[in-house]
Amino acid sequence: MYEKYDVVIIGAGAAGMMSAIECGKRGRKTLLIDHAKKIGEKIRISGGGRCNFTNLNTSPIKYISKNPSFIISALNQYNQEDFIDLVKKYKIKYHEKKLGQLFCDNSAQEIIDMLLNECKLANVVLKIDTKVIEVSYKDKIFITRDNSKTYLSSSLIVATGGLSVPKIGASKFGYDLAKQFNLNVIDTVPALVPLTFNEKILNKCKLLAGVSANAIISLKKTLFEEGMLFTHRGLSGPSILQISSYWKEGESLNINLCPEKNIFNFLLDKRNTSPKQNINSIINSFLAKRLANIICEENQIAGNIGGLSNKNIKKLSDSINNWIVEPIGTEGYKTAEVTLGGVNTDELSSKTMMCKKHPGLFFIGEVVDITGHLGGYNFQWAWSSGFVAGQHA
């Protein structure tokens, strides 16, 4: 009738696998369950198929949470160097792409295979294509049911991830379970997601689809300097994804399309030194041609720089150094990389990831209200929180 385990883990993604490995290593009889037909789908599709598995610059300031210092303990127990050591042990080749982001040279599948092998070595029992339909708790035992079986365990780890990309297994199961156990769940919102815009901006984006710029995008005191991409659907690229995690409806973004130049001063100088130079070709010397054309067109500016008034130079420089845009929304969970919000960290011990109210119940990974910036930080949170729960479940 029943299968008995020390630990049952729901969700065999990055966090779930890491916690299973650590529980198994401690000799705990561990069951890892996932409703997906394939293991680690998010790892497989991550980083364009090469998995940006951690970041050399991992630190608490790279995370968003109601309580940003919650992550300190998990990072102290298991950090980027610890995961890099594991990757090295498996001789997986990797490289730093930029800004401390570490990617596999070959394929994300190598990370999945490494984790699966570690699970095997730790005697973890893995059940895929198995949907958990109910969890209850009686006499200090968690009772987890799937369609055909019941599993009893003294510890239960919930690692069901966030809501992004539902077609590869994302579910709200973990949030519902937290509510069932009377835990506070902070409202969830798609993050690291392309933003959408009104028709006027969208038309401009369509004309510029494929053009990229190294931009600084800022919102109040938060700013990111990374690539920005014009697409048929709006604005995308790393800097837009990063700021999307901070953006709220009604707020405007400030986009600097040429951070390395103070365009106003540069154009004033040009007007003095080369008055006969064509304004369009001046702008084109530091911005992509199509972008330069559109900026001149929308400001109705043409001809030689010598003929430009201070007012027009200011207008032109503002639309390059200080372009204000107000998004109307986001593309939502369909294309979001992560989910903001989740199980309130006030409910959990930062040292163990166990619920303060319910001994034996753990929440780890993206289902918790910890969200990393783009760049390998989200996987590092999954590894760190998984490791920590694995020492205590």
Residue 201 to residue 169: CA distance in whole angstroms: 34
Query: Distance between CA atoms of 156 and 144, rounded to whole angstroms?
Result: 9
Closest chain position to ligand FAD (CB): 13
Comparison of 108 and 283: residue with beta carbon closer to ligand FAD: 108
Sole window of 33-41, 220-228, 231-239, 353-361 interacting with ligand FAD (rule: CB under 6 A): 33-41
DSSP string, 25-45: HTT--EEEE-SSSSTTHHHHH
Cβ distance to ligand FAD smaller for residue 287 or 337: 337
* Binding segment (CB under 6 A) for ligand FAD, from list 11-19, 61-69, 76-84, 209-217: 11-19
Of the residues 26, 44, 45, 154, which one makes contact with ligand FAD according to CB under 6 A: 45
By C-beta, is 239 or 317 nearer to ligand FAD? 239
Query: Hey, what's the torsion of the CAs at 328, 331, 336, 341, to 10 degrees?
Result: 50
List of residues 6+ apart from 68 with CB closer than 8 A: 60, 61
- Footprint (CB under 6 A) of ligand FAD, residues 84-123: none
How many residues of this chain bind ligand FAD (CB under 6 A)? 36
For residue 115, what are its two tokens? 């984790």
- Which residue lies nearer to ligand FAD by CB, 180 or 252? 180
Closer Cβ to ligand FAD, 295 or 368, answer by number = 368
Work out how close the CB of 164 gets to ligand FAD at its nearest, in angstroms, rounded to a whole number.
5
User: Applying CB under 6 A, which of residues 52, 244, 330, 352 lies at the interface with ligand FAD?
Assistant: 52
CA–CA separation, 123 and 110 (whole Å): 20
State the number of CA atoms in the 13 A half-sphere of 377 facing the CB: 20
According to DSSP, residue 61 is labeled: G
Q: Tokens 């001809």 — which residue?
A: 303
Measured between alpha carbons, how far is 204 from 324 in angstroms, rounded to an integer? 14
Site string for ligand FAD, 117-156 (x = CB under 6 A): --------------xx------------------------
For the CB of residue 374, give the shortest distance to ligand FAD in the complex, in Å: 8
Whole-number Å distance between alpha carbons of 149 and 2: 7
Q: What does the binding site for ligand FAD look like in residue numbers (CB under 6 A)? A: 10-16, 33-36, 42, 45-47, 51-52, 131-132, 159-161, 164-165, 169, 171, 173, 337-338, 365-366, 376-379, 382
